[in-house]
Chains A and B, each alone.
Chain A
Amino acid sequence: MLKSFFRKSVRLFYKDILEEWRRPWDLMVSFLFGATIITSLAISVGPQFGNPEFVTAVFWTIVYLASFIAVARSFDKEYERNTIYLLFMSMEYDELFFGKLLYNLTVLYALITLLYPITLFFFQEFIDFWFFIILALLVPLGITPILTLIAALTVHARHKTAILPIVAIPILLPLQIVTFKLSLTLDFSSKWDMIILLVFYDLVAIFSSVSLYSFIFAEK
């Protein structure tokens, strides 16, 4: 049962990766969006940009914004080509959601990996590398389930591209506040309570989005 669940989800994940491989520019848009903001900030403000904590906070803001573009398409493209109905027929709702979740998580990790060297190139100063790694691992685990769910909800809305950030930002705001508070310190040994809060948010986000998704399409 569990084996079949993962097999179908991984197949969907593989389909999405293959699709992106064939049309890489679709995904590159979100990376270029982030890279353009970082570059424009670097050019306009120059080396006096600020302290490493502030650079980290700006970096995470850009990651949040770029992730909206990256994840918004996950369901939209399936509806545009009507392939969503084929997916509904061939797999359970939670398998579909989990597959999309895996794909979006991979995209977000790739986005952070690509944007990090650009930020480092321009601003040099950044928070402690290992601390950054902890944040880079934990933050997408909170963003992705919420954004994947919101992408599934807003796919039926008018002006869906504008609606997605309006609807997603208030839910991601707690995560953003915790990320900023963690970024605004170089001494993370005193911030374990915040890291626990971050992990707690991630767990709640994963649980609530997975359980809500199967309810959304229960009648279809």
Chain B
Amino acid sequence: MRYIFLWIFGLLYLYMSFYYSPLAEKFEGISSRALFFHVPAAWVSLLAFCMAAYFSIRYLTSRNYKFDLKAVLSVELGFLFCVLATITGSLWAKVMWGSYWNWDPRQTSIIAVLIFYVAYLVLRDSVEDKKIKPVVAAAYASLGFIVAPFFYFVIPRITYSLHPDPVVNTEAKLKMDSKIFITLIVSTLFFTLLYLVMLRLVERVELLKRKAK
């Protein structure tokens, strides 16, 4: 009963994405349904990376180890959602464009973001001094505030993209069926909630592990 909202949103998400929402025009077969997994996963990865940057700044200002823990867990979760967004995007690209990899700016951008967070994990692991490690990691993750938004928002807009127009486009017009749009909003809310619950759970597991030590 603790995560009742998550269950309600989960069931609503499944119903809306498979039955309520119509298939989008100009899309091959049922491929448009991938939108309800791919877009929220990409959104949550951005949210998780920005949260990691926020927690890192909080750690640098307060030196409270809980913020460092939240930052690293947020990066790990963001990484997971980013990989899921990349895989679903590639599968969709194969159906729509005929190839898994098309040098689309959004594809290259997401790979660049993944490299940045792999570098974060590598840097964190390579520092042995337990006092310095969280400081170094936090300083690096804070730079995510420059990197992540640039790759998510700037690069796809300054280069030609095969991708369908983003929801927030340059003309500020909604080029989407209203039912699809509502389903997208619900799926994004569900994924956001899922991320927050997962973050809370993994944080509790880590804190219990530390207590046990």
Contact between A212 and B142 (Cβ–Cβ < 8 Å)?
A: yes
Contact between A197 and B158 (Cβ–Cβ < 8 Å)?
A: yes
B 100-132 binary contact with A (CB < 8 Å = 1; else 0): 000000000000100110010011001111011
Q: Once the chains are docked, how many angstroms separate the CA of A167 from the CA of B155?
A: 20
CB distance from A172 to the nearest CB of B (A): 10
Q: How many A-B residue pairs have CB under 8 A?
A: 82
CB distance from A180 to the nearest CB of B (A): 11
In the complex, which of the residues A193, A215, A219 contacts B139, with contact meaning CB atoms closer than 8 Å? Answer: A215
Contact between A174 and B136 (Cβ–Cβ < 8 Å)?
A: no
Q: Which residues of B contact A81 (CB under 8 A)?
A: none
Q: Which residues of A contact B116 (CB under 8 A)?
A: 170-171
Q: Which residues of A contact B146 (CB under 8 A)?
A: 171, 174, 201, 204-205, 208
A157/B143 contact (C-beta < 8 A), A170-B116, A216-B136 known: no
Contact between B140 and A194 (Cβ–Cβ < 8 Å)?
A: no
| In the complex, A137 has a CB within 8 A of chain B | no
Q: Which residues of A contact B150 (CB under 8 A)?
A: 174
Q: Which residues of B contact A154 (CB under 8 A)?
A: 123
Contact between A194 and B158 (Cβ–Cβ < 8 Å)?
A: yes
Contact between A197 and B119 (Cβ–Cβ < 8 Å)?
A: no
Q: Which of A49-57, A108-116, A158-166 contacts B (4 or more CB under 8 A)?
A: A158-166
Q: Which residues of B contact A177 (CB under 8 A)?
A: 155
Q: Once the chains are docked, how many angstroms separate the CA of A177 from the CA of B157?
A: 13
Contact between B143 and A208 (Cβ–Cβ < 8 Å)?
A: yes
Q: How large is the interface on B (under 10, 10 to 19, 20 to 34, 35 or more residues)?
A: 20 to 34
A166/B119 contact (C-beta < 8 A), A177-B155, A219-B63 known: yes
Q: Once the chains are docked, how many angstroms separate the CA of A170 from the CA of B116?
A: 5
Contact between A170 and B115 (Cβ–Cβ < 8 Å)?
A: yes
In the complex, which of the residues A150, A158, A208, A219 contacts B142, with contact meaning CB atoms closer than 8 Å? Answer: A208
Instruction: Give residues in A with beta carbon < 8 Å to B.
Output: 146, 149-150, 153-154, 156-159, 163, 166-167, 169-171, 173-174, 177, 181, 193-194, 197, 201, 204-205, 208, 212, 215-216, 218-219
- Contacts beyond the supplied A170-B112, A171-B146: 15 A-B pairs with Cβ under 8 Å: A153-B140, A156-B132, A159-B126, A169-B119, A170-B116, A170-B119, A171-B143, A173-B147, A174-B146, A174-B151, A204-B146, A205-B146, A212-B60, A216-B60, A216-B135
The 10 A-B pairs with the shortest beta carbon distances in the complex, nearest first, are A170-B116, A157-B126, A215-B60, A174-B150, A167-B119, A170-B115, A158-B126, A153-B136, A156-B132, A212-B139
